[in-house]
Structure 1
Amino acid sequence: MLVVFCESVAMPCCHDSCCPSSISPSTGHDARRWHRALWIALIVNGGFFLTEIVAGVMAGSASLQADALDFFGDTANYAISLTVTGMALAWRSRAAMLKGATMLVLTLWVLGNTLWHAWSGTLPHAETMGLIGALALLANGGVALMLYRFRSGDANMRSVWICSRNDAIGNLAVLLAALGVFGTGTGWPDIIVAFIMGGLGLHGGTQIVRHAIAETASTKMELAA
């Protein structure tokens, strides 16, 4: 299949020619809005990755560091999505598969880091966790609402929605962990929440990979026919 890039990123390409409309025929979504939403999501996630990784290390919080790595993974994933915007469905499916694999790898790192915190008995700073968690929840809640309309698109769009949804859930979990640490005076609420976030990451990554594999197989069958 020949893939032709349009002069404008907002103009999606269909197989061997550019579509006359800004509506993607494969997803039915406005490409300009999709492109703009991805840029906003990328900037928000990149900024909060830097914020949370510094705050997580300073506060000694496994859940904040887990959330920061999720932000990092999503920033890279949004960049990949921007790169394949307008490409053929097969390329978007491959990008989604790469994003799912990235999510799974980062999740394994998060789980390993959480085990280290549990072993060392770290007591995180609850006030820092609560403040950063609340700010991240407001930002990610807005991103998730913005991307909600794309949740039923192709594997690439669906993967972005899953990432944003998991981020908002993770931020809420960090807030609960901060309350737990403050109330109990132990680091176990932080550890428990970090493990839960790891579980969400594994589930979300698996969903993305499965959907992308099914979409890729369907594309190959169409080409063979």
Structure 2
Amino acid sequence: MACSCSTGCSSEASTNPTLLDPRWRRALWIALILNAAMFGVELVAGLQAGSVSLLADAVDFAGDAANYGLSLAVFGMAMVWRSRAAWIKGATMFTYGVFVLARAGWTLHAGSVPEPLTMGVVGFVALLVNAGVAVLLYRFRSGDANMRSVWLCSRNDALSNLAVMGAALGVFGTGSAWPDLGVAAVMAALAISAGISVLRQARGELAGLPARAQGHVH
């Protein structure tokens, strides 16, 4: 529901004019397209290479694409809707982290070893994409919980790609899956930490809104 109140929209726009900046919407569209494309690339590469870190990163790209789409859907809406969207994204990041831990445990049980060359090449391409998106969104990192969650996603993704490349070297040097599993654990920790941070900020923003703004009083 678009913001139609005379006080909520005007006050939010005046205190945070970035929300109405067309550059924010354009940046989200670019991030959405790039993340959707990389999801397909890493999904195929992860399956071919048998790499849990690449598969986990592919899921991350898919989640980010959905998050950017959600941010676009609430663009220009009231604070309550943006904070609710941020809460959903925070929960998604947290769930993703738990998924990665479960996938790593399954791979450990199976005892398979990934193919390091594919891991390294695809990890480098993913790093270029995520670094570009992070730079694109850097100016919006200090906004509300919705904006902060988008920035945190891009930052964590770039760090994860560096870890994937390091894991590829580790797998190549040791012939073991442990470097791949170690990276998966790091990615899970980043996702869980970022998810908790966004959930707390979104909850704080919702708690600070009057009951009428939250839809409890009509």
TM norm structure 1: 0.88
Counterparts of 2:6 and 2:161, CA distance in 1:
38
Q: What is residue 198 of structure 1 aligned with on the other side?
A: 188
* Matching residue of 1:156: 146
**Deviations along 1:70-101, whole A, 9 cap, x unmatched?**
11111110000000000011110000001111
Q: Which runs of 5+ in 1 are unaligned?
A: 5-12
- The residue that corresponds to 1:74 in the other structure is 64
TM-aligned CA deviation for residue 191 of structure 1:
0.4
Are 1:210 and 2:200 counterparts?
A: yes
Equivalent residue for 1:39?
Answer: 29
Assess if the C-alpha contact under 8 Å between 1:26 and 1:89 holds in 2.
Answer: no
Query: Any stretches of 5+ residues in structure 2 without a counterpart?
Result: none
How many pairs align?
213
Letter in 1 for 2:138: Y
**Cα RMSD between the aligned structures?**
2.2
Q: Distance in 1 between matches of 2:13 and 2:9?
A: 13
- Per-residue CA deviation, residues 126-164 of structure 1 (Å, 9 max, x unaligned), is 000000000000011000011010010011100100001
Mean CA deviation greater in 88-97 or 99-108 = 99-108
Matched, 1:105 2:91: no
Structure 1's consecutive aligned runs of 4 or more residues displaced over 3 angstroms after TM superposition are 13-19, 221-224
TM value normalised by structure 2: 0.91
Q: 1:3 aligned to 2:13?
A: no
Shift of 1:24: 3.5
Write the mapping of 1:68-147 to structure 2, written as runs, cut at 5 A. Answer: 68-147=58-137
- The structure carrying a bigger helix percent of its residues is 2
Over 3 Å counting, the alpha-carbon distance change for 1:14 and 1:139 in structure 2 is farther
* CA shift in 2, pair 1:217/1:184, >3 Å: same
* AA of the residue aligned to 1:137: L
Percent identity, aligned pairs only? 53
Amino acid in the other structure paired with 2:3: V
Residue type of the alignment partner of 1:127 = L
Match of 1:24 in 2: 13
1:14 CA displacement: 6.4
The CA deviation at 1:122 is 1.2
Alignment partner of 1:220: what SS? Answer: coil
Q: Which amino acid aligns with 1:80?
A: L
- In the TM superposition, what is the alpha-carbon distance from 1:106 to its structure 2 partner? 2.0
